[in-house]
């Protein structure tokens, strides 16, 4: 047993603890980090075992348990994909919510502008009815100004 085996086993145990705590606290980031540390520890331990086998001259590399390492890497890949999918889903929900709020705000602004326009229209109509000759004079003056500008 060499330094790589010991450090790999320690990192794997710490990773399993992080993964357990992440799952217990419902923190997907911590769970994913724990799974990563667990896999990295097992890989380092496997590297240490391979190093021991080469140093002793025994062809024990074929007896190493790479199947569990492969399973752990597969689990880690699934967790990372799930975490990414959850993040994308949460981002999409936020965008949809923001778009809904913006649409509601625009709808309210349009309704307010329409109400103000109707009020101004009613005010102008009542002024024209009170003083029709003033309205004709203003319209003629505006017509002359527009004619001069073009």
Is residue 46 within 8 Å of 69, Cβ to Cβ? yes
Handedness of CA 48, 20, 35, 27 (dihedral sign): negative
Predicted confidence at residue 69, as pLDDT, reads 78
Q: Let me know if residue 44 belongs to a domain.
A: yes
Query: Who wins on pLDDT, 57 or 141?
Result: 141
Tell me the per-residue pLDDT of 99-139, one tens digit each, with 9 for 90 and over: 999 999 999 999 999 999 999 998 888 888 998 998 899 88
Segment 83-102 mean pLDDT? 88
Best CA proximity match to 46, nearest among 18, 90, 80, 11: 11
Q: Is 27 within a domain?
A: yes
Which tokens hold the place of 98? 């923001």
Q: Rounded to 10 degrees, what is the CA torsion of 131, 133, 137, 139?
A: 70
**Confidence at residue 8, expressed as pLDDT on a 0 to 100 scale:** 81
- Are 38 and 79 in contact, with CB atoms under 8 Å apart? no
Number of domains in the chain: 1
pLDDT at 84: 87
Alpha carbon of residue 40 to chain centroid: 27
Does the structure show a pLDDT above 90 at 64? Answer: no
Domain assignment of residue 131, yes or no: no
Let me know: does 38 contact 19? Beta carbons within 8 Å. Answer: yes
121, part of any domain: no
pTM for the whole structure: 0.43
Find the domain containing 81 and state its range. 3-109
Residue 58 lies in a domain: yes
22, 76 Cβ separation under 8 angstroms: no
pLDDT, tens only, 31-44 = 888 888 888 888 88
Question: Has residue 148 been placed in a domain?
Answer: no
- Rounded distance between C-alpha atoms, residue 61 and residue 133, angstroms: 106
Residue 11 falls inside a structural domain = yes
């Amino acid at each position: 047993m060499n330094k790589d085996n010991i450090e790999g086993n320690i990192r794997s145990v710490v990773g399993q603890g992080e993964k357990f705590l992440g799952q217990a606290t419902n923190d997907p980031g911590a769970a994913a980090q724990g799974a990563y540390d667990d896999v990295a520890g097992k890989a380092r331990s496997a590297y240490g075992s391979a190093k021991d086998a080469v140093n002793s001259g025994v062809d024990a590399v074929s007896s190493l348990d790479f199947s569990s390492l492969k399973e752990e890497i597969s689990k880690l890949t699934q967790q990372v994909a799930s975490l990414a999918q959850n993040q994308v889903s949460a981002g999409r929900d936020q965008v949809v919510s923001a778009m809904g709020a913006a649409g509601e705000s625009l709808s309210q602004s349009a309704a307010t502008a329409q109400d103000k326009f109707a009020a101004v229209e009613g005010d102008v109509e009542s002024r024209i009815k009170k003083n029709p000759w003033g309205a004709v004079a203003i319209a003629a003056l505006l017509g002359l100004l527009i004619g001069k500008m073009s």
